[in-house]
Amino acid sequence: MLVLTRRPKERIVIGDQIDVTVLSVQGNRVRIGIEAPLDVSVTRPEVQQRKLAELAMVSDRNGGSLSPSPDESKCVEQTDDHRNQCLP
């Protein structure tokens, strides 16, 4: 693991297409901004684990198929409060 020290507004570049910027530091909280191509998944580990668990539940309900049921396909994740919302 590469460990770097950065101050607010300083950046780290990963490869040619990923840019990480330290936005602010308040106590032990660090806010970072990540610019990456759309085909690169950027997520927190706890969100990734939740999505994998949800896929497993969908698979179990559909007899091993990962395709959501028609009602589930109307659900979208809300990124602000991390809850799912299903549209009528």
Domain residue limits, the chain? 1-38, 45-86
Give me the sheet containing 11-14, strands edge to edge.
11-14, 18-26, 29-35
pTM: 0.58
Q: How confident is the model at residue 59, as a pLDDT?
A: 78
65 vs 31: CA distance, rounded Å:
38
Q: Which residue reads 């028609």 in tokens?
A: 70
The pLDDT of residue 29 is 94
Contact predicate 23/43, CB 8 Å = no
DSSP H helical ranges for 1-88: 45-61
Per-residue tens of pLDDT for the chain, all 88 residues: 999 999 999 999 999 999 999 999 999 999 999 999 999 988 889 988 988 888 888 877 777 665 555 554 445 544 444 444 444 4
